[in-house]
Amino acid sequence: SQLDTLDIVVLVALLLGTIAYFTKGTYWAIAKDPYGNSLALANGHKNTGRTRNFLEKMDETGKNCIVFYGSQTGTAEDYANRLAKEGHSRFGLDTMVADLEDYDFDNLDLVPEDKVVFYILATYGEGEPTDNAVDFYEFVTTEEPAFSEGQSPEEKPLAKLKFVAFGLGNNTYEHYNSMVRNVNTALEKCGATRIGEAGEGDDGAGTMEEDFLAWKEPMWASLAETMNLEEREAVYEPTFEITERSDLTIEDDTVYVGEPNKNHLEGKSQGPYNAANPYIAPIVESKELFHDPQRNCLHMEIDIGNTNLKYTTGDHIAVWPTNAGMEVDRFLKVLGLYEKRNNVITVKGTDPTARVPFPSPTTYDAIVRYHMEICAPVSRQFVSQIAPFAPTEEIKKSMTALGSDKDLFHKEVADWSLNIAQLLETQSKGTAWPAAPFSLFIEGLNKIQPRYYSISSSSHAQPTKVAITAVVESMHKPKAPHVLKGVTTNYLLALKQKQHGEANPDPHGLNYELNGPRNKYDGIHVPVHIRHSNFKLPSDPAKPIIMVGPGTGVAPFRAFVQERAALAREGQTVGKTILFFGCRKQSEDFLYADEWKQYAADLGDNFEMHTAFSRDGPKKVYVQHKITEQAKAINDLLLKRAYFYVCGDAANMARDVNTLLGKIISEQRGWPESKGEEEVKRMRASNQYQEDVW
């Protein structure tokens, strides 16, 4: 029989697909990082032919040191940048920074002896790799990674590889720094040689920066010895070249005034929406949940109906913040850029491997407002780097002292919770720092990070509307001269105020630009994307569940209960649904107090809510007490394979609950305590115990 046209079209398509599949990585690369690509395009770099072979890239650009990062919140990426910069300025290494996601690793066995590879690796959640490190991690930790030369009987495959490793972790999680530990073991097993210690920074103890600083000095010393490097006087060389563009104004439609990428600039925002490309979503409802004039907690409903965005119950939504106008002004003033804030500039890497973390041409205002984390705590190393650019010798001396003395730094900067502009302002008593190069701040400050929220609605009950439950961060630290305001939550609060027609939506004079770049966020919009999570209800609703979620930890459990109530209304069999909730006072911060009654009506006796109010009576009552009271019932349900969920504060509550559950199991079953602990571990491994903590 003859092939008709359609058959031929299909066959050709299949053939092309097959060729594409087998040549992947050789002739083309999957655009995994649309943000990077759109940035590259915006900056005039061509995206075609970007290699996934890092050795080729190093050779092409004359590098002998590559610093890979596995980063979720930007800190590992920042450390990678800092190490690359320091390696170059102090030791003359030719360094480049690279996202693990952008390269393949089957050629690790071909790294020659005169080159070195750094791994700066954050551990995420339950000992998992960060999103951008998943493929790398799977590759190196398999039993026998398939390196290009294959296994040779005489020599281990990575016998020539020299590497440096630092991990970012949190000791309140069980799998503390497991990424760096496991990668280190895997590389050593294949014969690679580590230079210096495998460093471990601990966010849980709040010592990340100091751990990093303490680790890197001896590491540099061993690296210098191994590679025969001579330390030289470090001279600052800007990574980015900033060119004033008098030929352009902010009115020109090629100028980025805060748009996250090219599509947004061209006004055709389209999916896929992800960490590189937000959806400018309408907020369809917003309200406050606390009856407490001192504190705010927001409930917001975000509409994703007109998009291909999907979520399932238990996922997270990421909100892309805008910095407060007050802080943007402070920053621009202290750098002497206030008058020039709307001048158009082009920002380009001075080295082909340097990535500009935002699109350009743009303005100082747009960079500072939409792309830089200007309110975060200041790093001590950064203080030393800015010192030489101080407006007077006296200030330079005082900055140098702060940068080199850990205790002094803590007393005068960290304990006061200063952000970078506040520090510069305090040091110079308000005088500007015009000599400080803007490039230094692009290098030294993090790219602004989206903040994640556990979605508090059920995708079954409301598939096109995502709910957020967020407590507005406002902290008065004992020694701080000012109240510390969370960037994103105060931005959301301002949006809520605008939605409710409050004349001047301006919490605490923060003055957010609520209309967004070119008024694109007008009418109560916020940029978001969705991140899928493994925090999931059992697929069979008849299975019993136990949830522990004090404070905003209740967010995903509102979703879980909403889902089970909807299923019950539809006539499905729903199992026992037990929720432990805690807050300060029943009359002030009992989240969704009225809704639970409706869910109880839908679920009948199968719904049980145990509440703990810590400030309502003479004795402080926490969820832990309520769990202990229900020990027998909990154990009975666990024996019926109930799922156990914990959400909220990682540092204290989640850890306590984990320990408590082990105790309950051992007491109820007459087991030794260690066996109870083992049982909780087993439950974690089989997903019967799930955490969503932050």
170 binds ligand FAD (CB under 6 A): no
For ligand FAD, which is the closer residue by CB, 195 or 375?
375
Say if residues 120 and 70 touch (Cβ distance below 8 Å). yes
Gyration radius of the chain over CA positions? 27
Binding string, residues 282-321; x marks residues near ligand FAD by CB under 6 A: ----------------------------------x----x
Phi first, then psi, for residue 97 (nearest 5°) are -105, 145
For ligand FAD, which is the closer residue by CB, 671 or 694?
694
Instruction: Determine whether 636 is an active site residue.
Output: no
3-state helix, strand, coil in the chain (%, to 5): 40, 20, 45
Binding string, residues 480-519; x marks residues near ligand FAD by CB under 6 A: ----x-xxxx------------------------------
For ligand FAD, which is the closer residue by CB, 482 or 615?
482
Helices 555-569 and 595-603, axial angle in degrees (round to 10): 40
Instruction: Determine whether 379 is an active site residue.
Output: no
Q: Which helix (H) or strand (E) holds 646?
A: strand 643-648
Residue 227 has a CB neighbour count (10 Å cut-off) of 17
225 CB-near residues (< 8 Å, 6+ apart):
none
360 binds ligand FAD (CB under 6 A): no
Instruction: Determine whether 246 is an active site residue.
Output: no
3-class secondary-structure state, position 497: helix
- Alpha-carbon separation of residue 364 from 207, 256, 346, 359 (angstroms): 32, 11, 10, 12
Q: Of the candidates 105, 220, 453, 689, which one interacts with ligand FAD according to CB under 6 A?
A: 453
**Marked catalytic residue, from 360, 454, 456, 666:** 454
Instruction: Determine whether 587 is an active site residue.
Output: no
Burial of 694 (0-12, 13-18, 19+ CB in 10 A): middle
Q: Give least dist CB 528 to ligand FAD, A.
A: 12
Q: Of the candidates 239, 454, 458, 688, which one interacts with ligand FAD according to CB under 6 A?
A: 454
3-class secondary-structure state, position 136: helix
Q: Give least dist CB 3 to ligand FAD, A.
A: 53
Q: Give least dist CB 543 to ligand FAD, A.
A: 24
Q: Give least dist CB 203 to ligand FAD, A.
A: 11
Q: Which of 572, 540, 573 is nearest to 643 (CA)?
A: 540
694 binds ligand FAD (CB under 6 A): yes
Which one of the spans 31-39, 180-188, 446-454, 493-501 is the region binding ligand FAD (CB under 6 A)?
446-454
- Taken in order 670, 672, 674, 675, the sign of the CA dihedral is negative
User: Six-digit token pair at 316?
Assistant: 């997270």
For ligand FAD, which is the closer residue by CB, 96 or 471?
471
For ligand FAD, which is the closer residue by CB, 91 or 580?
580
417 binds ligand FAD (CB under 6 A): yes
**Centroid of chain to Cα 566:** 33
555 binds ligand FAD (CB under 6 A): yes
Say if residues 80 and 118 touch (Cβ distance below 8 Å). yes
Q: Of the candidates 108, 387, 471, 548, which one interacts with ligand FAD according to CB under 6 A?
A: 471
Q: Give least dist CB 376 to ligand FAD, A.
A: 5
Which one of the spans 52-60, 329-337, 369-377, 668-676 is the region binding ligand FAD (CB under 6 A)?
369-377
For ligand FAD, which is the closer residue by CB, 186 or 309?
309
Q: Which of 510, 396, 376, 377 is nearest to 448 (CA)?
A: 376
Say if residues 349 and 240 touch (Cβ distance below 8 Å). yes
The residue behind tokens 């290098």 is 443
Q: Which residues bind ligand FAD (CB under 6 A)?
A: 316, 321, 375-377, 417, 419, 451-454, 469-471, 473, 475, 484, 486-489, 552, 555, 694
The catalytic residues are 454, 647, 692, 694
